[in-house]
Amino acid sequence: MQTVETIASVRSALAEHRRAGRTIGFIPTMGALHKGHLALVRRARAEVDVVVVSIFVNPIQFNDQRDLAAYPRDLARDSAALHAERTDLLFAPTVSEMYPPGFQTEVRVKEVSKPLEGVSRGTAHFDGVATVVAKLFNIVQPGRAYFGQKDAQQVVVVTRMVRDLAIPVEIVVCPTVREADGLAMSSRNVRLDADARRRAPAIKRALDAASRLVESGERRASIVAEAATRTLADAGITPEYCDVVSPVDLRPLESISDDVLIAIAARVGDVRLIDNILVSIGSSAQ
Ligand code: AMP
């Protein structure tokens, strides 16, 4: 595995592969890698010739400077894990490489950035995500890019951006990887104290309770959201949001007539966690 820090060295490392017509798969991350990230790398390894991973804790997508400062970083451990997964190229740029003095361009995906995380963290969060992902796509120019369903709104924002700007990349969405007790793997989980770690799996239980209701025929979104909220309350968790939305454009739903996305954000102890479940009701919708 080759590790590079500059845009110029990514371009030169990939030039020969591109000339030879090899397919390039790309996984953008913020590091502190866990099995969720590595599942994306493994999927790419199985599908493309050249696997490129970026590790960049993107300052412009953090609305909370304490969260940015506390974000876990361990490049040595991450590189060993990526090497073991047969990654070809690791791009780990500095902040000044990505945002040199004078940088002033922003990519904003207007509507789908507004609900859910947009309400909780502000729409600037996804402006930061869209801007960095657009820049990374321009640097790596992959044929495929791999994202986790764990960050459902990010998938919608990036998919919309790629369509709107005609960026020639296929977005591949991979299932959420979980701990044995259901907690979605996240780089932030290491910051949960013992009490919060014990309570956090209630988020998945809440999503499952909501999903079971939809599957058993409940079509009122408010009843579905209430079931999830009750399960969270039993674990002493008050969500920032617990929303039933369209998986296509994240529009809030009142009544469920097609596939739905149920999304939760909650602070557990000191740590803000997000999770979601997609419930497919297909053509049997009532
Ligand atoms: P992050 O480093 O948190 O920005 O995540 C980088 C990529 O890994 C994103 O596409 C995430 O959606 C994905 N990811 C993070 N956690 C998980 C997980 N538990 N399962 C699957 N994908 C994940």
pLDDT tens digit sequence for 58-73: 999 999 999 999 999 9
- State the closest ligand 1 atom to the C-alpha of 175, by its place in the atom list counted from 1: 21
Return the best residue to mutate from 37, 42, 158, 189 for the ligand 1 pocket (most ligand atoms within 8 A of CB). 37
pLDDT for res 284: 47
- Residue 133 pLDDT greater than 50, yes or no: yes
Cβ(252)–Cβ(244) under 8 Å?
yes
Name the closest-CA residue to atom 6, ligand 1. Answer: 29
Only one residue has tokens 């207007």, namely 110
Half-sphere exposure of 1 (CA within 13 A, CB side): 20
Distances (CA, A) of 137 to 48, 149, 216, 225: 16, 19, 42, 36
The closest-lying atom of ligand 1 relative to the alpha carbon of residue 178 is: 19
Residue 130: partners with Cβ closer than 8 Å, 6 or more residues away = 107, 108, 109, 113, 157, 158, 161
Query: Ligand 1: which of 27, 29, 60 to mutate, most ligand atoms within 8 Å of CB?
Result: 29
Torsion sign, CA atoms 197, 119, 147, 213: positive
Which residues does the annotation mark as catalytic?
37
Q: Single out the residue of 85, 71, 83 nearest to residue 32, CA to CA.
A: 71
231-286: pLDDT as tens digits: 999 999 999 999 999 999 999 999 999 999 999 999 999 999 999 999 998 644 44
Q: Express each pLDDT in 91-121 by its tens digit.
A: 999 999 999 999 999 999 999 999 999 999 9
Is residue 196 within 8 Å of residue 183, measured between CB atoms? no
Q: Is residue 185 within 8 Å of 177, Cβ to Cβ?
A: yes
What type of residue sits at position 33?
L
* CA 251 to ligand 1 centroid distance, Å: 23
11-62, pLDDT tens digit by residue?
A: 999 999 999 999 999 999 999 999 999 999 999 999 999 999 999 999 999 9
Contact assessment for residue 98 and residue 137, using Cβ atoms and an 8 Å cutoff? no
